Structure formats: structure tokens, C-alpha cells
Structure 1
């Protein structure tokens, strides 16, 4: 591949992984969303990638971001962009400014839910000239139909859809490299261990 996303050219955007919002994402099992979100956050933190977190209306049913994110990425959590209610986070100035400040044009994006909180910023960022990969299995929607519709809409607009393992492998590129070894360890601990040791 010539146009590879790497830890040196991409930024990780985790959007609205909140304790209330995750209850709406029933198209993907709860535990799977948490595992994959943890893996993405750890990959960013442990490889030095920029990580931008955002939340929407924390004082409402959406609630705070998952406690795992606060534990894994305390700095990004403290600096999270708290939106007052703007659905398309790309249109909320402080969020877009935080992404622009990273200086990176390759965006790895995931969040809750695909059919509301991800579809719009993914397409908006793409329209602004960014390259966007959406990690679909660290997210979900209220129904399978809603999720599939959102994924089709994003893909038809030019967004690249990916999975947690797939994007982590792309960021690693070589498991024997220092970065690759770090990512492989995270992938095993967060995603693969339960399968291998079952």
C-alpha cells in the first residue's frame, strides 16, 4: 500500500464514547465496543499518536465518557472537547480546531453512534480535504438497519471503513518493529487474548 496511515501521520478521534450513549449502540455487543475502544485509545497513547476526545451533553442521559478512557488517556480526557449539543462535531469550532492543531490530515475516527455521531463528521471532514477511516466495530447504532445505512452512506461519500484489528495492523505495518511490537501487545491484551486462551 502506498497511502498508509501510520502513527506518525494520523490522529485518533474518539467521539462520544459515553456511558449513556453506548446503551444505544446495540448493533455491536457492549463488551466488543469497550474492548475495541480501549485498544484504539491505548494504541494512540502508547505510540505517541495525537488523541482527541469529545463528548456531547455530559449533563444529560449521554453522561461522561467511559471510565476506561479516563484511565488510559488521562490527559486527553482532561482536555476533551465538551460539546453543548452540536451533532456534527466537525462543525463545532473547538473540536475542529483541536484536530487542525495536530497538523495531521489522516483521521482515524470512531464513536457512538455510527448513525448519528459519526456519519456526519466523517463526511464533513472528508469534504474539507481530510482522509478519513471510520472504525466500525468500536461503535454501533440502535438497530442493524440504522448501522448498515450509516456505513453505506459514509462509504458512498468516500470514507474508508475499517475494523479495530485492521487499522491497528495498518498502523503497525511490521510486528517486529518497536511500534509494531507495542501495537501487537495491545491487540493481544485487549482483543485477541479471550479468543486465543478460550
Structure 2
């Protein structure tokens, strides 16, 4: 898949890999001006997706070799968002999810058990709501989905992380990679 490039955004191409290692994708990225080209690998680490290998070389319109300015222009965040969108089966611009029986039951009130069914639903929705192209306010939308206070939702998201449904958080940034349990659900298909 190719995303890109009016005149201000670099073009990113990513190919998913199915190797046994941590590498989940390879990418190529080109500046709109043709000044530089970048390629590398994206891996899944404890903190989520990271660029584990990055090569930058002068493009066809470069005046000389690789400069610090060229390296700074490589859109690391855009590359990671692109790969994240490619990895997820629900990568479309979904902002709401169909009502499921669990969400209806929880909205009716009363205490609920933080079992795997609930943690899976919270993790999946949180992952979708913080995905590429989604507006801010994932916790607020989850609170509306489940008719619970935002603080309760934050507790549920934290518990989903601890239980392996979501990957670890990155300080100061909303969102998460799927944890091992959620990735397993993607592989076998949600039931």
C-alpha cells in the first residue's frame, strides 16, 4: 500500500514480513522533493513498534551526501503509523463499533467482573480508537460506550495492559500496540 504525497508528505511503502524474528515490516520512504530516500525495518519490542534499522541515502535531487537535516526529515512517526495501520485487521477509519451484548450489559449498570471478555473488548476498542486517523478522546468514547466514568475506563485500560491485552504505554502518548493476547485474537479471528 502506498500513502503519500501531496507536495508536503513523503511517500511511504511498507511490506509486512512473516519471519520468526521481531521484524514485522520493511519500509521505503522518499521525500517529496527527491532529496533523500530512506529504508529500514520495523520491529515489535516491549514498548511497541519501533524502527530497528534505518538507512538514509541521498536522492536523485540531492546536492551531496547525507546530511543531518536529511536524517531529521525522515518521518518516523508517519512510518510507524503506516505500518500499524497495515498490521491491524480493523485499520479502516472506524470511529464507532457495533453494539455487542457485553457493552449493552455493562451499560445497564452495576459492578462488572474484569474478566477476559471485558478486557478484550476494552483493549480492542481502545486500540481502534487510538489508531491512525482517529480523533483524540479515546477514553471519553470508551466511557460513552460502556456508560462508565473516564477514571474507570483508565483503570480498565491499565488492567488490559497488565493482563497482556495491550502492549505497554509510551509516556505522554495515547494509544497502544496490541498485546500478545489481542494479537492472538487477530490471528485466530474474533469469536
For Structure 1 versus Structure 2, the TM-score category normalised by the shorter chain is: under 0.3
Specify the structure having the higher radius of gyration (Cα).
Answer: 2
**Whose RCO is larger (CA < 8 A, sep 6+)?**
1
Q: Which has the higher strand share?
A: 2
TM-score (norm 1): 0.24
